[in-house]
Structure 1
Amino acid sequence: MTLEQLRIFVAVAEHMHVTRAAQALNLTQSAASAAIQALEARHATKLFHRVGRGIALTDAGTAFLPEARAVLARADLAERALNDLSALRRGSLALHASQTIANYWLPPLMHRFRTQHPGVLLDLTIGNTTQVAEAVTEGRADLGFAEGDLDLDLEGFEHSSVPGDRLVLVVGAGHPWAQERMIAPARFAESAWVLRERGSGTRQVFEAALGRLGVDSATLPVALELASNEAVRAAIEAGAGAGVLSSLAVESGLRFGTLLRLEPHFPARRFRVLRHPEHYRSKAVEAFLDVVGSV
């Protein structure tokens, strides 16, 4: 049984005439008749009485008609759903991102996307870089976003990079370094430090930068390791020590004077967009990548 056979059966039942039904469907009379005969033969059931030049539904045809209409209605809904998905009138997109990206960089892009495609639901999950990569690998994320300058194994990913942020050295207003502008890397061990947890992109990028400055990260007296940018920032503002965070994460603290930015300046870094190459690249994914590419 095919959808085409069902459409022909319903049309013939509604017109009570094979030729008129065929004309309505833009088919030949012989094609319409053959479809009805094939449907009857396949199920060994007569659907129409042939009375002279006319036809009438049998009891089986009468019982089958509402079922055929229901199937066609469901098929029409399915086709419309696919059309809506293709035209981005509906759908969903699962995004996974590391904290800095999820909390500061990604929300304006999500807003821009939703303004353009209000029918597409965006679901954002926040994790560290390792968790983001795992979500993309396992298919739980359509797109993953992580800090780009990392020792991240990109084999098995479709990936690209986009302009990101810059790590900055900050202290609270009451910190001993607050009156200085430049802190030589050799003095880093003089202060307690508040850092993101190991495995976070911010921590990995900071430790890599320390190596380039000739500083052994093991020599830093780390007072606190915290699992969110907000917690690190609050601890630094409270005087727990110096810290390094994304420029995006400290913007408000610098503006209101609760944080002070010191040199040395760290190089700009890029964010990495991850996708599994074997997973279906939907229209929603394409559209969101277009928004990201406009940054």
Structure 2
Amino acid sequence: MDLASLNAFIAIAESGGFSIAAERLHLTQPAVSKRIAALEQQLGVRLFDRLGREIGLTEAGRALLPRAYRILNELDDTRRALSNLSGEVSGRLSLATSHHIGLHRLPPLLRTFTRAHPQVNLDIRFLDSEVAYDEVLHGRAELAVITLAPETAMPVRAVQVWDDPLAFVTAPEHPLACNGQVRLSDVAGYPAVFPGGNTFTHHIVRRLFEREGLNANIAMSTNYMETIKMMVSIGIAWSVLPRTMLDEQVVALPLPGARLSRSLGYIVHTERSLSNAAQAFMALLDQARDPLHGTSPTG
């Protein structure tokens, strides 16, 4: 089975179109179509239903997709295992991270790593933490540094590196900031801007409101913490931000009993070989652990 054809098949299945898959693979659309035609002929089945501009997997395509992932992941795993025998820290490291961690936590570690291991080709992708989790799970990223889920299931292993306390915040002139001590029920009465409902941070805050029998008035949504901070700073909404982002643009609300925190760290796939480069970067992350909160792996 031709590996280039399998790569084309996966690209189309993930992107939903031949032209997008061609851009992703840096190929022409006819070249991608030719690879799929060859794969379908080799297997003796049709892999995609083509209805106008809509592309969908056939039953055979749906059956092939997890197997195609396994084949390519096994090949990548074999390459890493053989490359590791040299003991050199080199080659490609596919690293996924959230925008917030990539901007606020990783720069000094990346600087140290690239100076110590100049032969490593870093492939860094900035993704939502939930998307990065799937990238590791399906073998498209070797390592991800993200907001950790409350629970992580095998074969993914999570290691906490930083504790990230959160604060309820508003603009200095917001009514909530001018009322002295406020309660969670007071906050619920005003519009909020939150990360999307599928994010780990959203779930953490929502559970706090649910325990009090309240619903947050979420008027707007974006997954970029810097954008949330900007919207809070102009006074149109309150939100929850990491305390590391607080400055004169926003103020923390004194909410008694409303202590929130999230765990930041890295995840890896336990059933795949890790490159020497990934192990070296993990060692740096382990050295950066918070002394009280980053001592034990989960998952």
| 1:245 aligned partner | 241
Structure having greater relative contact order (Cα 8 Å, sep ≥ 6): 2
- Runs of 4+ in structure 1 deviating by more than 4 angstroms, as ranges, are 81-85
Structure 1's 120 and 192: CA in aligned 2 closer, same or farther, altered over 3 A?
Answer: same
Q: Partners of 1:103 and 1:211 in 2: how far apart?
A: 31
TM, length-normalised to structure 1:
0.63
Give the match for residue 18 of structure 1: none
1:215, 1:115 → 2: CA distance?
A: 51
Which of the pair has more CA radius of gyration? Answer: 1
C-alpha separation in 2, matches of 1:267 and 1:129: 18
Aligned CA distance change for structure 1 residues 220 and 127 (closer, same or farther; 3 Å): same
- The normalised TM-score by structure 2 is 0.62
Give me the whole-angstrom Cα distance separating, in 2, the residues matched to 1:187 and 1:175. Answer: 13
Per-residue CA distance 1:140-185 (angstroms, 9 max, x = gap): 111112323x344422112222223111111012211223453211
Contact 2:205 2:260 in 1 (8 A): no
Q: CA deviation at 1:99?
A: 3.1
For residues 273 and 82 of structure 1, do their structure 2 counterparts lie closer, same or farther at Cα, with a shift above 3 Å needed?
closer
Report SS of the residue matched to 2:197.
coil
State the partner residue of 1:128: 128
| Separation (CA, whole Å) in 2 of partners of 1:220 and 1:158 | 32
Give, in whole Å, the separation in 2 of the partners of 1:91 and 1:272: 23
**Structure 2 alignment gaps of length 5 or more:** 1-81, 289-299
Distance, in Å, in 2 between the alignment partners of 1:225 and 1:133 is 21
Residue 180 to residue 102, structure 1, CA distance change in 2 (3 Å):
farther
Structure 2 residue 289 is matched with structure 1 residue 289: no
Partner of 2:203: 204
1:85–1:91: 8 Å Cα contact kept in structure 2?
no
Alignment length (residue pairs): 205
Instruction: Specify whether residues 82 and 147 from structure 1 end up closer, same or farther in structure 2 by C-alpha distance, changes over 3 A only.
Output: closer
- Greater share of helix residues, 1 or 2? 1
The percentage of aligned residue pairs carrying the same residue is: 22
Question: Cα deviations across residues 83-129 of structure 1 (Å, max 9, x unaligned)?
Answer: 997332x3221111233322322222212212222221222212223
CA RMSD of aligned residues (A): 2.4
